[in-house]
Structure 1
């Protein structure tokens, strides 16, 4: 055995290749940053770092995957990681501890304040709770416990926390409306939230102007409300885009509803749907995974094929062009590699294959694609540093930042420059076929326009 390993090492040295990187376990994407969890509980991140969302202790962008060193010397054994728009949350199963870092406005980090955090910090209010899943939206987060209870925190201007109020919450709070209901999975959009229960029921709450709650109207809900059953099917998966929702039934059928200005519902039109609507184009496929971007959608079939549709200005659908698509289009991978996981960011997409190769495409101006450059890509490109088949198998970059606790806090009112009325043009960004402009939502603030251009 030793002789064989030695020979392999010699061969690797002779070819100039480094040892393959640790296998990728999962990937997640935010507004302009990306993270990956690798075997051995190693975390790495790349892309925009302005608000500390990369966790490297500074506000610098990273153009290639960079290993986080911000945890205590005793690595906490991170088992899951999820991106919000400009923040990141992770969970340690061993410690039963949630960590968060990045932009802190509205309490989205769950630390009891609105300060930005540049290295992973424990969410003390959730210490010792066994977590099944965490979901991060634009400015709010939720966690499902192993017991099926739901905790929520962060921004709540449209009731997206499900607490019956519109007051932000700086600390996690239990959603009392789910008392006696065992929640299986949750998903968070910009200002709305969706959930499926262990019984297969579908719920929606928060901002509902485009029918994205699935409740047949355009009204907000301050507490979770059950969506009428769809053909008697039980739901097993849920995902949210910015203002649309995606769900999959136990039979593998895919349903979408909400905003469709860019074709993100996939029904061949650009019309909003106020209740779950079956995606006929994929009726012969069994859907195993779904992900929602800002205005695009991705779906993975049980046989490893990936489909995308919706807004595609930066190539985030991954089909080789920059045209919007209102029908699902298959994303092609080299050598027909089967996809194992997909994650949508706002304007970019990540996926890794059964061969553990990681690919990215879409907007790249902050380095969120991880290719060491700041260009957009309209079809999947392998991230060398994370892929065993990457040319040269480049080593992962270590973080060299000198950590600091937090920047000077600036109040939300000073950071936000809300458009005062709907007469101010906003390039159609918040308008959907006569439903009115969204003049008073985060989409129009100066910081976001700058950060996510």
Structure 2
């Protein structure tokens, strides 16, 4: 998931603070970096503005200077002066040994939350673009019989889908090439604020809602200028704030878009500023899974080594990147440098806005990156806007308890365990915990830090989300909201809901983990969820009759 690219909605008096940011510049580090390192401080962290279209990024509250605001729908966007042209075809690639399998189960895809920039992929219908989708709605452009999506990944303001017939579709904001295809549109746009109809009906008939239909409608990524080995199959996709990536069956990684830093675009590779079409990511082989944070990416290889590349200004790469060589070295995939040994190979990876985690074969969990709200799980930051973890450090509270997956948000994170529990930690002052305030408030000071008014602010130690009924097996985190999917086929959500990204039909914060329930998903057995900056997606196996609810 990647975040702050849209103007905020009006915020209620109780939450006047807006986009917090931590302009963290890469700090000088000794030869052996300490566990906690400080960057040059910037603005203090503030509580997320309620009822705002605030952070739009992949699961992240901004802690660095956010990218320039997305152009209003009524204006034409100016392309960056040095956008790289599509990569020329290289010499023929050969297909290696297949080490990854592609998903095969076609999915029904339900979307909800912010949709004014085409994030929901509902096309250029007559529905007003200013209207958010309050509850899960079946996306009519992704029907199992015509498309057959098998995996979905949400970025800051765009989404990427892998289909059963080896296609990759994208939709949403394409400002820096994140969609991997041409979305130029001369059909005319109108300001999203001009829309006046806020009805909540389900009439998605033809019309013009002011969106660019080539962004707002799912369409295939353009591979015409990309060299692919014959027989290549894609097995996984992932999305960041302004970039997307795809993994192949033989362990290659392709990507498009760009990475951003404190001062704007850093680049996509040392040679390419913005990749408008897919290019091969050099320096990676035998990769088994990929995960994109806001402006960095992790890849796990078959030997259990974790590789990172992108922006490293908040130590999200888990390795030292010297400022003067940041472009040359940060944009090249390099080993994070986790402990070595047969039982210490990584078996899973995870990302947050500016974080990374690795789950090792022996059950240990390692973390790195920004730790301003103890979001790594290591209680050292406690409100210090510039605290980071580098190199990767073992997380005692998460090690040896059977953690199977982790999802990082803006400044909080959640985890699923073998026993079906959902754990949460980090920032909790916008109801990111999903735990009743009175229950949180009883926790001792060594576990919970409160603000000046005595309200819960930082969970230093992971705690169980007790309201969830069922066994959690899949999780996702947005900027300040979360979704957990149980083996029983239900999805539970909580947190910041200003744009209905929780799918609960309310723009008030969802304080306690609550099951998502409406006519669209009630009879479905949900199997996955993906959270973008201010929108979300849930999926179900396509084997039951569909109801298009609201």
- TM category (shorter chain) comes to 0.7 to 0.9
What is the root-mean-square deviation of aligned Cα atoms in Å? 2.8
- Report the equivalent of 2:205: none
TM-score, length-normalised on structure 2?
A: 0.61
8 Å CA contact 2:304–2:347 kept in 1: the answer is yes
- Report the equivalent of 2:364: 253
TM-score, length-normalised on structure 1?
A: 0.73
**In structure 2, which of residues 398, 414, 417 is the aligned counterpart of residue 298 of structure 1?**
414
**In structure 2, which of residues 235, 253, 266 is the aligned counterpart of residue 150 of structure 1?**
253
User: Cα distance, 1:161 vs. partner?
Assistant: 7.3
- Report the equivalent of 2:423: 307
- Report the equivalent of 1:430: none
**In structure 1, which of residues 89, 93, 100 is the aligned counterpart of residue 170 of structure 2?**
100
- Report the equivalent of 2:218: 120
| Inter-partner Cα distance in structure 2 for 1:372 and 1:41 | 23
| Inter-partner Cα distance in structure 2 for 1:114 and 1:207 | 28
- Report the equivalent of 1:268: 379
- How many residues are paired up? 360
**Residue 237 of structure 1: SS of its match in structure 2?**
strand
Whether 1:85 and 2:156 are equivalent positions in the alignment is: yes
RCO comparison, higher one (Cα < 8 Å, 6+): 2
User: Cα distance, 1:215 vs. partner?
Assistant: 1.1
Higher alpha-carbon deviation: 143-152 or 186-195: 186-195
**In structure 1, which of residues 134, 139, 149 is the aligned counterpart of residue 242 of structure 2?**
139
**Residue 107 of structure 1: SS of its match in structure 2?**
coil
**In structure 1, which of residues 324, 327, 333 is the aligned counterpart of residue 461 of structure 2?**
327
Q: 1:269 to 1:147 in 2, by over 3 A?
A: same
- Report the equivalent of 1:215: 319
- Report the equivalent of 1:174: 280
| Inter-partner Cα distance in structure 2 for 1:114 and 1:253 | 47
| Inter-partner Cα distance in structure 2 for 1:123 and 1:210 | 31
Q: Which ranges in structure 2 are unaligned for 5 or more consecutive residues?
A: 1-56, 61-102, 186-211, 382-386, 438-455, 526-544
Question: Which structure has greater helix proportion?
Answer: 1
| Inter-partner Cα distance in structure 1 for 2:392 and 2:238 | 21
1:35-56 CA-partner distances (Å, limit 9, x unpaired): xx9x852111000001111111
- Report the equivalent of 2:501: 368
1:323-376 CA-partner distances (Å, limit 9, x unpaired): 2212211111344x2102111111110111111111100111111111122111
1:73-108 CA-partner distances (Å, limit 9, x unpaired): 952211011100111111112x21001111111010
| Inter-partner Cα distance in structure 2 for 1:150 and 1:142 | 7
| Inter-partner Cα distance in structure 2 for 1:347 and 1:77 | 30
Q: How is 1:57-96 mapped onto 2 (pairs within 5 angstroms)?
A: 57-58=123-124, 59=129, 60-71=131-142, 74-93=145-164, 95-96=165-166
- Report the equivalent of 2:514: 381
- Report the equivalent of 1:163: 269
| Inter-partner Cα distance in structure 2 for 1:334 and 1:196 | 31
**Residue 327 of structure 1: SS of its match in structure 2?**
strand
1:86-144 CA-partner distances (Å, limit 9, x unpaired): 11111112x21001111111010111457751111111318984112111111111111
8 Å CA contact 1:162–1:175 kept in 2: the answer is no
8 Å CA contact 2:222–2:277 kept in 1: the answer is no
8 Å CA contact 1:210–1:258 kept in 2: the answer is yes
| Inter-partner Cα distance in structure 1 for 2:288 and 2:474 | 19
- Report the equivalent of 2:335: 226
**Residue 507 of structure 2: SS of its match in structure 1?**
coil
| Inter-partner Cα distance in structure 1 for 2:489 and 2:59 | 24
- Report the equivalent of 2:108: 42
Whether 1:56 and 2:167 are equivalent positions in the alignment is: no
**Residue 176 of structure 2: SS of its match in structure 1?**
helix
Question: Which structure has greater strand proportion?
Answer: 1
- Report the equivalent of 1:349: 482
